[in-house]
């Protein structure tokens, strides 16, 4: 019931920030002309949570934000720059990241440990700190509630469009809002570029529960867009909850379920926005692997399919080339019996067990005409399943592979 209310109320609406939050995005001079500095501020003390890159090489802002999350209970701001990742910059880089939190803290009158920081862009070059410090002084004048368009633009690198989503829903008779911005990349392999996400809510959620919910939902969304183990030096998703709605989310309650479901949907939308921004992408593809022995196997198989250039070019060419799907699972490293393999595309079975094909190729290819593809692989080995999202490969990449059958 809540869900319906929400979906109706948000149709055609702009996104909006939760109560007590403001954001801004400006050009401070790191990039030539595009926005490159974003600030999100909470008027009230907020609990914070974060998930971070697994890369062995971690950028200074990753190290510092993790440290602040351990040191403080209350947070008031997230400061982010794009155009320079402040990664592989040694001690100076760490000092610069600290400076960013200090300047921001000073600006809004809090402690530097109560500010989180993120960066994205070129690796190995020192931050142009004069520009950033001037930017931080200036950005306060642009802080506004409403949508987060400017902040979302200011965190972009190779992204071709900004990514914002928000959702308002009723818990205990009161409205709660979650809002998020994200950036991904325009690359063929999203796994090589920095992914950032910043989520805010006006619910009251204690730190541990917030961390638990962010981890759970990010694992099934941001970490399912063919990313995960292969992460950049700077990846992070941060979340702030500032209690301004007066709605308290307690662990194990129905309201937690509602909230977590909404958070999942919001992060999923942002994750899909990142996929849609893939280079030359023309189709959004959800890969679902069912009947695996373990969830880990299902994730591994789904991601291997989603990463396969051969599968992605076939989908682009609307060629239901199931052999490429089986071959990808074959080198994914999981245990399975190829004879039990079944494949469904947008609900139509294109491969039965024992490699039996009942549809003529032309009919099977029809299943790929849509710009949204659901590719289901049933391994028939066990009961575990997982999904992930990816996009097709188009254009020049296809020139060679598209003529493969000629």
Question: Catalytic site residues?
Answer: 194
Of 15 and 308, the one with the shorter C-beta distance to a copy of itself is: 308
Nearest approach, Cβ of residue 161 and a copy of itself (Å): 13
Of 120 and 217, the one with the shorter C-beta distance to a copy of itself is: 120
Cα–Cα distance, 380 to 242 (Å, whole number): 46
Nearest approach, Cβ of residue 356 and a copy of itself (Å): 8
Nearest approach, Cβ of residue 346 and a copy of itself (Å): 19
- Which residues neighbour 100 within 8 Å (Cβ) at sequence distance 6 or greater? 61, 79, 81, 117, 127, 132, 136
Cα–Cα distance, 291 to 63 (Å, whole number): 39
Neighbours of 58 (CB within 10 A): 21
Of 45 and 280, the one with the shorter C-beta distance to a copy of itself is: 280
Nearest approach, Cβ of residue 283 and a copy of itself (Å): 18
Of 14 and 92, the one with the shorter C-beta distance to a copy of itself is: 92
Please choose, from the candidates 317, 297, 298, 303, the residue with its C-alpha nearest in 3D space to the C-alpha of residue 275: 303
Cα atoms in the Cβ-side hemisphere of radius 13 Å centred on 53: 26
Nearest approach, Cβ of residue 317 and a copy of itself (Å): 13
Please choose, from the candidates 114, 111, 104, the residue with its C-alpha nearest in 3D space to the C-alpha of residue 242: 114
Cα–Cα distance, 163 to 155 (Å, whole number): 10
8 by Cβ neighbours in 10 Å (0-12 / 13-18 / 19+) ranks as exposed
Nearest approach, Cβ of residue 352 and a copy of itself (Å): 12
142 by Cβ neighbours in 10 Å (0-12 / 13-18 / 19+) ranks as middle
Interface with a copy of itself (CB under 8 A): 31-32, 54-57, 85, 87-90, 121-125, 157-158, 186-189, 192-193, 229-233, 279-280, 308-310, 321-324, 326-327, 329-331, 333-336, 338-339, 354-355, 357, 395-397, 400-401, 403-406
Please choose, from the candidates 300, 251, 290, 309, the residue with its C-alpha nearest in 3D space to the C-alpha of residue 383: 290
DSSP structure string for 111-160: -GGGEEEEEEEESSS---HHHHHHHHHHHGGG-BSS--HHHHHHT-SS-S
DSSP structure string for 47-106: EEEEEE---SS--HHHHHHHHHHHH-S-EEEEEEEEEE---S-HHHHHHHHHHHHHHHHH
Of 98 and 297, the one with the shorter C-beta distance to a copy of itself is: 297
Task: List phi, psi (to 5°) of 146.
Answer: 90, -145
Of 313 and 387, the one with the shorter C-beta distance to a copy of itself is: 313
Of 115 and 379, the one with the shorter C-beta distance to a copy of itself is: 379
User: Residue 230, SS3?
Assistant: coil
Nearest approach, Cβ of residue 30 and a copy of itself (Å): 10
Of 144 and 192, the one with the shorter C-beta distance to a copy of itself is: 192
Nearest approach, Cβ of residue 276 and a copy of itself (Å): 14
User: Residue 299, SS3?
Assistant: helix
Give the pair of three-digit tokens for residue 87: 């990664």
DSSP structure string for 267-281: HHHHHHHHHHTSTT-
Give the pair of three-digit tokens for residue 208: 């541990």
């Amino acid at each position: 019931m809540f869900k319906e209310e929400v979906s109706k109320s948000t149709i055609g609406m702009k996104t909006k920030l939760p109560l007590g939050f403001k954001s801004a995005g400006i050009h401070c001079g790191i990039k030539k002309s595009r926005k490159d500095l974003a600030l999100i501020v909470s008027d009230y003390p907020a609990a914070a949570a974060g998930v971070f890159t697994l890369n062995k090489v971690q950028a200074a802002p990753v190290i510092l934000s993790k440290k602040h999350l351990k040191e403080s209970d209350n947070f008031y701001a997230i400061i982010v720059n794009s155009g320079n990742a402040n990664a592989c910059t040694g001690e100076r880089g760490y000092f610069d990241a600290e400076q960013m939190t200090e300047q921001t803290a000073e600006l809004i009158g809090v402690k530097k440990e109560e500010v989180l920081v993120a960066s994205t862009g070129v690796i190995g070059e020192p931050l142009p700190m004069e520009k950033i410090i001037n930017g931080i002084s200036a950005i306060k004048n642009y802080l506004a509630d409403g949508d987060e368009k400017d902040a979302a633009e200011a965190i972009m690198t190779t992204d071709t469009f900004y990514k914002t989503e928000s959702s308002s829903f009723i818990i205990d008779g009161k409205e709660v809002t979650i809002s998020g911005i994200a950036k991904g990349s325009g690359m063929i392999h999203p796994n090589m570029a920095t992914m950032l996400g910043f989520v805010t809510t006006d619910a009251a959620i204690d730190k541990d529960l917030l961390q638990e919910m962010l981890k759970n939902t990010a694992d099934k969304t941001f970490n399912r867009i063919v990313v995960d183990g292969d992460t950049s030096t700077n990846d992070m998703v941060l979340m702030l909850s500032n209690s301004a709605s007066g709605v308290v989310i307690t662990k194990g309650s129905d309201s937690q379920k509602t909230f977590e479901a909404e958070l999942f949907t919001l992060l999923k939308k942002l994750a899909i926005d990142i996929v849609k921004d893939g280079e030359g992408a023309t189709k959004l593809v959800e890969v679902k692997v069912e009947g695996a022995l373990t969830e880990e196997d299902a994730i591994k198989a789904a991601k291997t399919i989603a990463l396969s250039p051969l599968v992605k070019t076939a989908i682009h060419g609307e060629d239901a080339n199931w052999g490429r799907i089986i071959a990808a699972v074959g080198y994914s490293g999981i245990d399975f019996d190829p004879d039990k393999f079944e494949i469904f595309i947008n609900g139509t079975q294109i491969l039965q067990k024992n490699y039996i094909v009942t549809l003529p190729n032309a009919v099977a290819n029809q299943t790929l005409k849509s710009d949204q593809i659901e590719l289901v692989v049933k391994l028939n080995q066990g009961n575990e399943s997982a999904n992930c999202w990816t996009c097709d490969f188009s254009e020049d990449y296809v020139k060679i592979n598209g003529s493969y059958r000629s």
